[in-house]
Structure 1
């Protein structure tokens, strides 16, 4: 069963709705916290999927999510350290963490095809929301050129993840 609350939280959080007023975007320290929280949510879900799925396609996708998102987080943390920027938690990063926790709670009791379907359906929605947030909020709001460059650099990976998730999604049997 998909968590409508999680999808709503993710969409609102990644769009920046709870964090800043209309017309202003997140600051660089807030963007850093959002990037880390968004990636960590996907790392945690990927680790759960690696341990639960019996599907080789889902397992391969989950492994790729853990590897790629861990790499993005490392690059983001390395950059903020280099720049002397301290990630600043904010309602968006907090909402992403809560949404990630809710997603894990939703996925844990599921088994087999129901788990695979819920995990992959979430990944499709999540990656589309991340791409939208990158394009509409995070990249335009980033003030530091190196931070903006990192966001631009990782965007194609999120597009590739979305396409990969859609491929896996199309191959899964429908659940009742």
Structure 2
């Protein structure tokens, strides 16, 4: 149920800024075809009103975030050509599947039934948008350009999760166990952001042979 409107344009802009600002300078200026950009919805009349979330809605956002990372990893691993990029995406499938299972067990133990919100539905749509861009006519066909695009999708999704977690989820969660889970997932997401940024930097500026 739509209980409040929110600044989705601001959220996405912040997520993109966070994701592409965590690597080296070489990672800040990829070519347009390397970076799948999401279309930011027009905030319009929604600007100035922040979304309020219950613990049940926060739980669903976390579920969707982890499900999206698994989907991206499963899609990207078979397409990547760089072994490190393949390994990273397989790692995302393994780790986010484990996190989702841990989260589901926590929610069952705490008696929290996940509930969709405008935010969780939007995040589901964004993952599909990323997949559509990666499969679209303007996506790189193969090689380093495709590897960069696949990593950019991972950075986009992880940075979005980090920004939303910091700005909306953590400040509003009331259940202690859920708060602890948010902190744990936030730390893991930051690690993934740093790893993906480092991989991108290596592909953009490979080590120089002596």
Q: Considering the TM-score relative to the shorter chain, is it more than 0.5?
A: yes
Aligned equivalent of 1:108: 135
Residue 122 of structure 1 deviates from its aligned partner by 2.2
- TM-score between the two structures when normalised by the length of structure 2: 0.71
Residue 129 of structure 1 deviates from its aligned partner by 2.4
Q: Of 105, 109, 114, which residue of structure 2 is paired with 1:82?
A: 109
Q: Larger Rg: 1 or 2? A: 2
Asked if 1:167 is matched to 2:198, the reply is yes
What SS class does the counterpart of residue 86 from structure 1 fall into?
A: coil
Aligned equivalent of 1:129: 160
Cα separation, partners in 2 of 1:124 and 1:43, compared to 1, 3 Å: same
Q: Size of the alignment, in residue pairs? A: 163
Residue 124 of structure 1 deviates from its aligned partner by 2.0
What SS class does the counterpart of residue 89 from structure 1 fall into?
A: coil
Structure 1 unmatched runs, 5+: 13-17
Aligned equivalent of 2:6: none
1:71-110, Cα deviation, whole Å (9 max, x unpaired): 1111111111112211101111111111111111211354
- TM-score between the two structures when normalised by the length of structure 1: 0.83
What SS class does the counterpart of residue 88 from structure 1 fall into?
A: coil
**Whole-angstrom CA distance in 2 between matches of 1:144 and 1:161:** 26
Structure 2 unmatched runs, 5+: 1-32, 206-210
**Whole-angstrom CA distance in 1 between matches of 2:203 and 2:154:** 14
Q: What value does the CA root-mean-square deviation take over the aligned residues?
A: 2.0
* Structure number with higher helix proportion: 1
Aligned equivalent of 1:55: 82
